[in-house]
Amino acid sequence: MIEIRKFLPLILLGVLLLLVFSMCGTYNKAVEKDEKVKKAWSQVENQYQRRADLIPNLVNTVKGYANFEQSTLQAVVEARANATKVTIQADDLTPENIQKFEQAQGALSSSLGRLLAVAENYPDLKANQSFLGLQTQLEGTENRISVERKTFNEVVNEFNSYIRQFPTNLFAGIFGFSPKGYFQATAGSEKAPEVKF
């Protein structure tokens, strides 16, 4: 019995060291995953910024056509202004903030869609090489946005899963790690469009 008491401080010290090293490893891995989320968010923002940068050129090209619907152009300009106002810091990627960002970007996508649909009524505009080039760049950018959003969601899933696993969940709150928000599908996108001939 005396021998166990003699080694008890060493055993407690060993357990304490094991706990400290475990916490350090958990913290470092959470930081690494958090940085991946920030990097992925940066890529999402880059692609949305690319789209925002293309819009003034598109609007100026379309403005050259005197009969073009001014209300459509105005809607695009306003939607772009509103979309660029909504920014989220990488440390504040809550589901609510992601939803606000997504709504602003969705309004811009919608107004751009209307502009391109109205452009179909202008054969001269559809034949304009600048317009066609910008339209192609916008389509490519929309594809890039989709890819970056998917990558972001995957990285967020990895981060959220990690900080919710036991025993990481015990330390995550202490270290200030909280779940990040995801991009969601647009409301109504689960329904297939109705086609009538």
Per-residue pLDDT of 125-141, as tens digits, reads 888 888 889 999 999 99
Across residues 182-192, what is the average pLDDT? Answer: 65
Across residues 57-64, what is the average pLDDT? Answer: 86
> DSSP state, 106?
H
Per-residue pLDDT of 147-167, as tens digits, reads 999 999 999 999 999 999 998
Q: Which residues contact 33 (CB under 8 A, 6 or more apart)?
A: 155, 158, 159, 162, 163
Tell me which residue has tokens 């107004």: 111
Q: Which helix (H) or strand (E) holds 43?
A: helix 2-63
Tell me which residue has tokens 């009538």: 196
Ramachandran sector of residue 6 (left: φ over 0; alpha: ψ -120 to 50; beta: rest) = alpha
Fold category of 42-175 in CATH: Four Helix Bundle (Hemerythrin (Met), subunit A) (1.20.120)
Question: In residues, how long is the chain?
Answer: 197
The answer to whether the Cα torsion of 154, 159, 161, 162 is positive or negative is positive
Assess whether pLDDT exceeds 90 at residue 190: no
Tell me which residue has tokens 């689960």: 190
| The pLDDT of residue 186 | 64
Of the two residues 42 and 20, the one the predictor is more confident about is 42
Show me where the domains of the chain are located.
Answer: 42-175
Per-residue pLDDT of 79-91, as tens digits, reads 999 999 999 999 8
3-state secondary structure of 182: coil
Query: How many Å apart are CA 155 and CA 180, to the nearest integer?
Result: 10
